[in-house]
Structure formats: structure tokens, C-alpha cells
Chains A and B, each alone.
Chain A
Amino acid sequence: MTSDTQAEQVQAAPAASVTMPIAKALNAALREAMRADDRVLLMGEDIGPLGGVFRITDGLHAEFGEHRVLDTPLAESGIIGTAIGLAMRGYRPVIEIQFDGFVYPGFDQIVSQLAKMTARHRGRVSMPIVIRIPYGGHIGAVEHHQESPEAYFAHTAGLRVVSPSTANDAHWMLRQAIESDDPVIFLEPKSKYWSKGEVLPAPAARLQGVSGMHRAVVAKPGSDVTLIGHGAMVHVLLQAALIAEGEGTSCEVVDLRSLSPIDWAPLVESAQRTGRVIVAQEAPGHVSVGSEIAATIAERAFYSLEAPVLRVSGFDTPFPPAQLEDIYLPDADRVLDAVDRSLAY
């Protein structure tokens, strides 16, 4: 990315901070990116006049037309596979997958094609493709609409995987994902789409460059226990920290933001300071992002730990029917139970 491009993008950004929900912050980011670079185009199902089932692309079809906002046939492999061809032609496609559980028909194109294409070409071909996936539970939906598939993508070399938890991050991380010359799996915490937050003007709030979206940040400082999570789980962790504070325990909440690569320094530094770490996620725990975090913190902060790193996850079962989702999904109580167990060591 050249500094000229950066300057243009800064100009296109809002001049003062604005409070808006995550959904609107994503919409604004898409609009700004499309205005800044006419090679950016959107692809997905029902993203045209309808604006997407979550309205993230609302108004973009009207502003940019059907050649920039492609309402595609209902075929995820087709969407991702043709996006690869468009990227070979010099375009920067931003794909919307309608729901987390609908990404799998496109899985081969993501894992065997998109992720490996740059290596296969020995770096001569870049794949600047963003795949936006609304993910996670808490919306009471039918099967395939509440899953957390991040581990599959974080496991795959050649992909970058990020997930914002705030409106500001949703906005700026999406801008950075679109600027990236590598494929980015952009996981949107759909249960928080209408959660409001301040979107700050660039460059004040912006972590410059593509690496910005890969930084982990401390969402709330604390001294006794470190709580690590991403996406909607960050909100659960902040709630748990508030309750714990009332009980005399100071929790530090770290927002992972990036699942591949993982920004280890803030995690290890926090673990060394508190000596106790809980990592929480909606996804099933077996061979998960949380597993990797637990293992790596054990390797890098071994002598500082007062307790083993504990994981709080969805169960290793299919996501249950909606009536049972509150039992399946880790809530503040399950996080606090882990905090208690950690403190008991």
C-alpha cells in the first residue's frame, strides 16, 4: 500500500467521530472503500436492492450500480471461485456469505484455491479478496445460522482471519482487510450488528497499515485474571469483568481481534502480569483457536502462570436448536466459574 492511497483513504473517512451500530460502520467502510478504489466490488446473495439479509450493503447497489455490487446466483463455490478469477484480472472482490453455515459449499475454493493461489504462483499473483461472514449465536435462528467456523480458516495457511467486536474496529478493520493484498476471512459478530459505538476519524483511531487489523488490544485493564476472547464474546467478557469487579476480582479483558495471525505479545504480557488466563469462545473447544492460545501461553509464560490456562467454549456438539442456545453458548456465569477455578489453584 502506498502512502498516497493511505492519504486518499484518510480523506474519505468521517471527519469527526460518529456513534453508530456495527452494521452501519461496516456499511460506511464498504462505501468508502468503493469510492476510494473502483477495482473494489461486492459479490454475494441478495446484496443488491435488498441490501443483504442484514442490510450491511444497504444503498450500495443504488450508489454504485450492478457492475460494482453483484447480486450473484445462489452458489457459494461459484461466488468464491469467480472472485478468484476477478482478482486475477485485477479486481478486489469483497464477498458476503449470507450466514456462517453457508460458507461450506465454498470451502474447497477457499482452502484449496484461494488460500494457496499466491504460493502456487510463487508470489506473482495476489489474492486481495475479503470474505465477510456473519457468525455466531445469540440470534435464536434455525440450524446453520449460528455457527462459529473460525478454526477451519485459522488452521489454513494463506488466509488471514480477523473478527472485530466494536463499531470502530468493524469500520477500520474492514477498510484494512480490503486494502490487504492477501485473502481475509472477516468474521462479523452478527448478534452485535446493532450494538452502537463510536467510530473515530482516521488517523486518530486507526492502527495504520494492514498489520493494524492483526493487533490484539486490551479492552479493559485489570490485574488478577486475564480474559481473552474475540467478536461477540468480548462483550460477555466485559460483562463478566464488571461482575467480578463487584466481587473484588480485577479482570483484564483482551480483545483478540485477529485469529490468524495471532498477536502474541499483548497476550503473553498480560499473562505474565496476572498469572491467570481464561480464553473464551462460542466455537467448540476441541482443536480450536482457544486451544492454540492456551498452548502458546503455556509455552511462553510458563514461569509466570499461577494456574493452567482454562478454556470456556461452546460444547463439542452440533449447535443446538435455538431454545437451547443460551445453555450452549458461554455466558458471564460460565466465564466467572472459570475465573473461580483459576483463582482456586
Chain B
Amino acid sequence: MTRADARADEATEPIRLLDPDGSLVESDANAEWRELAAQLSTDDRLAMHGEMLRTRRFDIEAGHLQRQGKLGLWVPSIGQEGAQVGAAWASREQDTIFPSYREHLIALHRGVDMLQIIDIFRGAVHGGWDPLETRGMRIYSLVIATHALHSTGYAMGIRLDRACGTGDASRDEAVMAFYGDGAASQGDASEGLVFAASYDAPIVFFVQNNKWAISVPSTRQSRTPLHERARGFGLDAAWVDGNDPLASFAVTRRMLDAARQGRPGYVEADTYRMGAHTTSDDPTRYRPSEEEEAWRRRDPIARLAAHLRELGVDDAALAAQDAEATDLAADMRRRTLAAGTAASDDIFDHVYSEPHPLVLEQKRALAEFEAGFGGES
């Protein structure tokens, strides 16, 4: 994306290819994005729809498990599947992804098992999965925007390794960092932009503006649109309708491929957190139900489904995806209920990479203490 393109995006509307009713938006302004989206076949679009449905069912089932006391907390991504599926499909196999904690679709897309996400929220582990085994998907980051710096540093490393910038998009590496409108206020988010620009880091910050940081609206987070803020740091930036999977794909693919040639970018995806911030939250205290209803009519899954019907995909195919998603969620529930608990050694075993006398001593002392109850328990 050129700077001229970026200026052209300074519009009142985000880039959009599908209207909320699923019909195609065709204008001169979105011609280049339509061309990029044309890379997605009908089968691809159907597969994207399947991923969104699976994530939705997974999300709903995890919420139920929390209400039944099986999870300590759940963080739903309902409403944001469109932004995420576009970004997931825009990423290439060699890319590295630094998520926040609501990127369930991205995680599943890169091969993380549902139960590995569940393990975090049932209190079994902090990290969930081994990032060396999940096709570039790093673990969730709970302190918002801290990973904006980790991802930028990783991208700086790619550049030092000369693993980008050859002009071959199928090989050049890039990084995606995911965070939200609330995190954008953190100093680390800004410092990430400073470092990414200073070192021409091959990175795209994909910011899901879901309008609410728990109860604080995005209007309180920034007086200027977030994508305009990014331009001030010297990054290319775009504003996309995040509930439009095709637009999310097209814009992110373009920005990522520019990033792998040394132009860091920023995508602000206009979307909405349809559910609560977490299962501990009560949105009725801070936002009107009319707002939620208006966004429900812009549900990204319904939008893509309508588009697929227009492409001639029959209802049976969509129903089959729904049934498969429901089965997967049920399987996740069964496996969650059967999952074991963490061992006390887990407290001590990985604090340091090399032996540490204090930790070893305390591990030994706990073992002796527990052995002292031997046979009586």
C-alpha cells in the first residue's frame, strides 16, 4: 500500500466489499480490494464461513462451561469472527502471530486445539500451548499491548535474519500483532509503533476496534480514529469493515505483503463485541440494548452466509457446517469434563531455564511437607 492509497482511505466509511445483507459493494474506490478478494474461491469462502461457525459454537459452549463452574473465566469473541477470519486467511504459513486473548478463531485456524485454549481458562496453565508447535501462533497475552513490543522485537529479528524483503511473498516472513481499541491507549502500543517504524519491522498491527474496553467506550480512548493515529507514527494504515470477512482479508493481505518488504502497517477493523467483555462482565450496566441490536443485524457470520447463498451455495452445505461446529463444541465439552488437574511440580519446574537453588529447595520442601501426610489422606 502506498502513502497515496493511505490518504485515500481517510474516508468516513471503512473499506467494505460486502454490505450487511451480504450483497457485493462495487465501487471505483474498492476496485483494488475486490481484485484481492477475488483470490478467494467459493470453496475458500465456504471454508471461512465454517471457521467462523466453529468459533461461534466453541465460544458459546465455553460460556456454558464457565456458568457451570468448569472454567474460572471465559472471554468470548462473538461478533469479531469476521475481522479475525479475514486476518487469518490473509496470513501466510511462514508468518508469526502475536494474539491478545480474544483471538480464538486465529488460534484455531493455526492449529491450536480448543482444549489448549480452554486449559488457560480452567486454570490448568498460563500459556495454553507450545508456540513452537502451532504454526507460528504465539500464546495469548493478558496484559494488554505488552505483546505489541514482543511482536515488534520478533519482527526486528526477522529483519536482522534477512528473512524478509527479498520480494518473494511466499517466503518472506512477517508478523501480525492483535490488540484492541482499549489496548491502543497503552504506552506499549505506541512504543511498538515507534520501534516498528524506526526499524522498518515487517509487522502489521491488526487492531479490532470492538467499541468497548470493558465499560469504557472507544470514543474515550481516542479523539482521532486509531488508523489516523498510526499514520502519525509513520506507518501505513487502513480502516476496514471488520464484520466483512472479504474486506478484512483483502486489506490485511495487502498490508502484510507490504510489511514483508519492510513497510510496517496498521489495520483498524471496525467491529463490535456482541457479548460481554468476559463472563464476569455485565454490559447492561454501560451500553444500550438498541446498540447491541443494531450490531446484531451486522453479524459477520450472517453476512458471509448471505453472500455464499448469492454465490449459489445451498442451504444443506451451510447446515452441514453448523452440525459439524455443534459436534466439535460438544466434543470440546466432553474433553473438558474429562481433563485432569495440574501437578504441584508445575509451580516450580519452569521458573528458570537453568537450575535455581531457591526454587529447587522450595520444591523439595513442599514434597517433604506433603509426604509428611503420607497414608493419612
Identify the A interface with B (CB < 8 A). Answer: 41, 67, 72-73, 75, 77-78, 80-91, 105, 108-109, 112-113, 116, 118-127, 157-158, 160, 180-182, 210-211, 214, 260-262
Structural contact, A75 and B191, CB atoms closer than 8 A: yes
- Residue of B with least CB distance to A78: B191
Structural contact, B160 and A182, CB atoms closer than 8 A: no
Q: Given A118-B351, A157-B351, A261-B358, list of 7 further CB < 8 A pairs?
A: A81-B148, A81-B153, A82-B149, A86-B157, A88-B138, A109-B149, A121-B139
Bound together, the chains give a CA A123 to CA B355 distance in angstroms of 12
Residues of A within 8 A of B125 (CB): 122
A311 CB, nearest partner CB in chain B, Å: 21
Structural contact, A180 and B150, CB atoms closer than 8 A: no
Structural contact, B157 and A119, CB atoms closer than 8 A: no
Residues of A within 8 A of B153 (CB): 81-89
Residues of A within 8 A of B132 (CB): 124-125
Residues of A within 8 A of B151 (CB): 85
Bound together, the chains give a CA A126 to CA B357 distance in angstroms of 18
Residues of A within 8 A of B130 (CB): 121-122, 124
- A-contacting residues, B134-184, CB 8 Å: 138-139, 143, 146, 148-158, 160-161
Bound together, the chains give a CA A211 to CA B158 distance in angstroms of 32
Structural contact, B157 and A89, CB atoms closer than 8 A: yes
Given contacts A91-B160, A121-B130, A182-B352, contact A84 B194 (CB under 8 A): no
Bound together, the chains give a CA A112 to CA B149 distance in angstroms of 13
Decide yes or no whether B2 CB sits under 8 A from chain A.
no
Structural contact, B353 and A121, CB atoms closer than 8 A: no
Structural contact, A73 and B353, CB atoms closer than 8 A: no
Decide yes or no whether B187 CB sits under 8 A from chain A.
yes
- Residue of A with least CB distance to B141: A113
- A-contacting residues, B318-377, CB 8 Å: 346, 349-359
Decide yes or no whether B192 CB sits under 8 A from chain A.
yes
Given contacts A120-B139, A126-B353, contact A73 B146 (CB under 8 A): no
- In which size bucket is the chain B interface? 35 or more
21 contacts between A and B (CB under 8 A): A67-B160, A77-B149, A77-B187, A78-B192, A81-B146, A85-B154, A85-B157, A86-B157, A87-B153, A89-B154, A105-B187, A109-B188, A119-B126, A120-B127, A122-B125, A123-B350, A127-B353, A158-B351, A160-B352, A182-B352, A214-B357
B116 CB, nearest partner CB in chain A, Å: 12
Residues of A within 8 A of B63 (CB): none
Decide yes or no whether B295 CB sits under 8 A from chain A.
no
Structural contact, A78 and B194, CB atoms closer than 8 A: yes
Closest 6 CB pairs of A and B: A85-B153, A81-B149, A89-B157, A82-B153, A78-B191, A123-B350
Residues of B within 8 A of A105 (CB): 187
Structural contact, B156 and A120, CB atoms closer than 8 A: no
A337 CB, nearest partner CB in chain B, Å: 32
- Residue of A with least CB distance to B138: A88
Structural contact, B356 and A73, CB atoms closer than 8 A: no
Residues of A within 8 A of B149 (CB): 77-78, 80-82, 84-85, 109
Structural contact, B349 and A86, CB atoms closer than 8 A: no
Structural contact, A89 and B161, CB atoms closer than 8 A: yes
Decide yes or no whether B131 CB sits under 8 A from chain A.
yes
Decide yes or no whether B198 CB sits under 8 A from chain A.
yes
Decide yes or no whether B195 CB sits under 8 A from chain A.
yes
Residues of B within 8 A of A73 (CB): 191, 194-195, 198
Identify the B interface with A (CB < 8 A). Answer: 125-127, 130-132, 138-139, 143, 146, 148-158, 160-161, 187-188, 191-192, 194-195, 198, 346, 349-359
Bound together, the chains give a CA A127 to CA B153 distance in angstroms of 13
Bound together, the chains give a CA A109 to CA B188 distance in angstroms of 9
Structural contact, B352 and A118, CB atoms closer than 8 A: yes
Given contacts A120-B127, A210-B354, A261-B357, contact A86 B156 (CB under 8 A): yes
Residues of A within 8 A of B354 (CB): 180-182, 210
Structural contact, A77 and B191, CB atoms closer than 8 A: yes
Bound together, the chains give a CA A251 to CA B266 distance in angstroms of 63
Structural contact, B143 and A82, CB atoms closer than 8 A: no
A296 CB, nearest partner CB in chain B, Å: 11
Task: Specify which of A41, A82, A91 is in contact with B195 (CB 8 Å cutoff).
Answer: A82
Bound together, the chains give a CA A67 to CA B161 distance in angstroms of 10
Residues of B within 8 A of A41 (CB): 160
- Residue of A with least CB distance to B127: A120
Structural contact, A122 and B188, CB atoms closer than 8 A: no
Residues of A within 8 A of B127 (CB): 120-122
A69 CB, nearest partner CB in chain B, Å: 12
Bound together, the chains give a CA A109 to CA B187 distance in angstroms of 12
Bound together, the chains give a CA A126 to CA B352 distance in angstroms of 8
Structural contact, B195 and A78, CB atoms closer than 8 A: yes
Bound together, the chains give a CA A83 to CA B146 distance in angstroms of 12
Bound together, the chains give a CA A84 to CA B138 distance in angstroms of 13
A131 CB, nearest partner CB in chain B, Å: 14
Given contacts A75-B194, A119-B351, A123-B353, contact A84 B358 (CB under 8 A): no
A70 CB, nearest partner CB in chain B, Å: 8
Residues of B within 8 A of A84 (CB): 149-150, 153
Structural contact, B195 and A112, CB atoms closer than 8 A: no
- Residue of B with least CB distance to A84: B150
Structural contact, A113 and B156, CB atoms closer than 8 A: no
Given contacts A67-B160, A81-B150, A261-B356, contact A125 B131 (CB under 8 A): yes
Bound together, the chains give a CA A327 to CA B132 distance in angstroms of 54
B267 CB, nearest partner CB in chain A, Å: 20
Residues of A within 8 A of B139 (CB): 120-121
Residues of B within 8 A of A112 (CB): 143, 146
Chain A CB within 10 Å, residue with most, of B151, B160, B198, B352: B352
B363 CB, nearest partner CB in chain A, Å: 13
Bound together, the chains give a CA A116 to CA B139 distance in angstroms of 13
Residues of B within 8 A of A119 (CB): 126, 350-351
Bound together, the chains give a CA A112 to CA B150 distance in angstroms of 13
Bound together, the chains give a CA A67 to CA B156 distance in angstroms of 10
B89 CB, nearest partner CB in chain A, Å: 24
Bound together, the chains give a CA A119 to CA B132 distance in angstroms of 15
Residues of B within 8 A of A81 (CB): 146, 148-150, 152-153, 188, 191-192
Structural contact, B350 and A122, CB atoms closer than 8 A: yes
- Residue of A with least CB distance to B150: A85
Bound together, the chains give a CA A160 to CA B195 distance in angstroms of 27
B338 CB, nearest partner CB in chain A, Å: 21
